[in-house]
Amino acid sequence: MPTVHSATYDLLRRQGLTTVFGNPGSNELPFLKNFPADFRYVLGLHEGVVVGMADGFALASGHPALVNLHAAAGSGNAMGALTNAWYSHSPLVLTAGQQARSMMGVESMLANVDAPQLPRPLVKWSYEPSCPEDVPRALSQAIHTANLPARGPVYVSIPHDDWGHAVDDDAALLSTRQVTSAAQPAEAQVEALAERLNAARNPVLVLGPDVDAYGANALAVALAERLNAPAWVAPSASRCPFPTRHASFRGVLPAAIQGISDRLAGHDLIVVIGAPVFRYHQYAPGRYLPDGAELVHLTCDMQEAARAPMGDALVGDIHATLEALVPRLPQSDRARPEPLPRPEPQVDPEGLLTPETVFDVMNALAPEDAIYVKESTSTVTAFWERVEMRHPGSYFFPAAGGLGFGLPAAVGVQLARPERRVIGVIGDGSANYAITALWSAAQYRIPVVFVILKNGTYGALRWFSRLLDAEDSPGLDVPGLDFCALAKGYGVEAVAVSARHDFETALQTALEDDKPRVIEVSTTTIEP
């Protein structure tokens, strides 16, 4: 007769969740016992790193990823990383070991008190099965919930004495289930949208991360070319939905109300696709829309549609909506946008590189289909200006701004996409939040190139301190860091550079290697 353990592994196998990211404790050992040979376990040394690796893996693969956490303490350690996963629509299936059922009521050590409540509101669904026989069904529900639009993380707490219980043969029915979504817009909806675009005098596109997540990048290009419209990337960009050297590309919108309104002035119709309206950050109040402008919002997320402060929304599959829309639009006779001018090279001071020079070198040496996992907030604008990204799935950034994403996510992305080179671009402040990800990269020989930009300060925080008139605040600098020593301690080869030629040599060497490498680059400080 099957057990909860055997039925669960069969379910995971059939649903393609054969990679487990975890950091085990005693509650998790009964699940990991007799770990199947066709499964892969990826160990992280901290739960934030575990979720970060799984997040990168899920985003890059487009499929749910399984995470195994330890009770309440491990779940708590993972919450910062979970924030990024929630806002990036990352389909993570989080499992957490629970104390034995008979020990839960007295709140024994490692009992997860009110376990389903703990990860909320950063999960789509949270549950603790009421009996052992319900565990396989609960995990089936979790997998399908995570993967249905809008995708997102889910959480299941499982008492450790459930795994050995017998289940009936009907549990096998769970593993063969397929749950799919068919969010095709109605003909009338597409026709009304097309008529509105056709009637617009000067439309503009604002493209978000779900264009990339749905593989609709080429359709976004076709839409921009059909309309001869400029295309901005939505603020707080966590993915790249549009090729950055295309003539229509205009850059990334600022994450401020007045800043967005200023950039979009003169357009009568703003079409936001695959992004919230909008992910603001900097406090710069103003009018939500420029004078004379209307807004249409195409999103896969009903919550994004419901909470937007302006505009009309259509909720549905991003790819299906654009696929139906583009053929209904005639070729516009508006003048085509002129390509943005290429930025000039920067002059590097003695003993330091400007981030602009670092990105110029990357752009020249990296493969054209390289994937960049970025967590250096102060250099965002310079990166988007100087690094050409033309392929889907080329860029990942922490969607909630929570630090600790970059290093582990780069490991997870490289695991998911071994045929492409992954370059992690990490600030020195950010790197310390998840530095143990280097150990996982070394142990599993994952050939990520980690470029750590070392300027000795929290660059973005420095900028905000000036905006908020708080430059005398303590804790803005991080001197005395030696990332080469840290990397070598975790088993990763590392080199420090401070001149362009040395960085070119180090990057070329790293790209030709089949194991992870760290390049510590001494840089100047610039503003976001």
Residue 520 is among the residues annotated as catalytic for this protein: no
Catalytic annotation present for 26 = yes
Nearest to 449 by CA among 510, 403, 505: 510
35: DSSP letter = -
376 is catalytic: no
Catalytic residue among 5, 46, 70, 144: 70
Catalytic-labelled residue, pool 44, 74, 401, 427: 401
| 281 catalytically annotated | yes
Q: Which of 281, 311, 491, 493 is catalytic?
A: 281
Name the catalytic one among 44, 46, 47, 248. 47
What is the C-alpha separation between 265 and 286, in angstroms, rounded? 13
Tell me, yes or no, if 25 is annotated catalytic.
Answer: yes
C-alpha triplet 161, 166, 171: angle, nearest 5°: 115
- Residue-wise DSSP of 215-283: T-HHHHHHHHHHHT--EEEPSS-SB--S-TTSTTEEEE--SSHHHHHHHTTT-SEEEEESS-S----S-
| 261 catalytic per annotation | no
Residue matched to tokens 């008979």: 102
- Distances from the Cα of 494 to the Cαs of 353, 454, 457, 510, in angstroms? 18, 14, 21, 10
CA distance 51 to 44: 9
User: Which residue in the list 5, 6, 25, 522 is annotated as catalytic?
Assistant: 25
Name the nearest CA neighbour of 5 among 37, 25, 26, 33. Answer: 33
> 5 an active-site residue?
no
28, 225, 356, 375: which is the annotated catalytic residue?
28
CA distance 193 to 6: 50
CA distance 438 to 45: 10
* Catalytic machinery residues: 25-26, 28, 47, 70, 281, 401
